[in-house]
Amino acid sequence: MPRTNAKEKLIDAAMELFSVKGYDGTSVDEIAESIGIKGPTIYKYYKGKEALLQAIIENADMEYNKGMGFGINAGENVHTGRELKEFAMKSLMFTIDNETARRMRKLLTIEQYRDVKFAQRATKHQISNIVSMYVPVFRRLIDEGVMLNGNPEVIALEFMAPVSLMLQMCDREPQKKDDALRMIEEHMDIFVERYFITK
Mean pLDDT (whole number) for 132-155: 95
pLDDT of 72 reads: 57
Q: Under DSSP, is residue 178 helix (H, G, I), strand (E, B) or coil? A: helix
pLDDT of 187 reads: 98
Mapped to the 3 state alphabet, what secondary structure does 29-89 carry?
A: HHHHHHCCCCHHHHHHCCCCHHHHHHHHHHHHHHHHHHHHCCCCCCCCCCCCHHHHHHHHH
What does each C-alpha distance from 25 to 12, 95, 116 come to in angstroms?
17, 25, 17
Q: What is the per-residue pLDDT across 169-187, written as a single tens digit (0 to 9) for each?
A: 999 999 999 999 999 999 9
pLDDT of 78 reads: 94
| Bigger pLDDT: 112 vs 69 | 112
Percentage, residues of the chain above pLDDT 90: 79
Closest of 166, 161, 181, 160 to residue 84, by C-alpha: 160
Q: What is the per-residue pLDDT across 21-65, written as a single tens digit (0 to 9) for each?
A: 999 999 999 999 999 999 889 999 999 899 999 999 999 988 888
Confidence of residue 4 (pLDDT cuts 50, 70, 90): low
Whether pLDDT at 151 is above 60: yes
Mapped to the 3 state alphabet, what secondary structure does 1-46 carry?
A: CCCCHHHHHHHHHHHHHHHHHCCCCCCHHHHHHHCCCCHHHHHHCC
Residue-averaged pLDDT of the chain: 91
Confidence of residue 2 (pLDDT cuts 50, 70, 90): very low
pLDDT of 3 reads: 46
Q: Per-residue b/e over 88-97, b at no fewer than 16 CB within 10 Å? A: beebbebbbe
Query: What is the model's pTM?
Result: 0.85
Residue 61, Cβ density class (10 Å: 0-12 exposed, 13-18 middle, ≥19 buried): middle
Domains (range + CATH), the chain: 1-57 (1.10.10.60), 69-195 (no CATH)
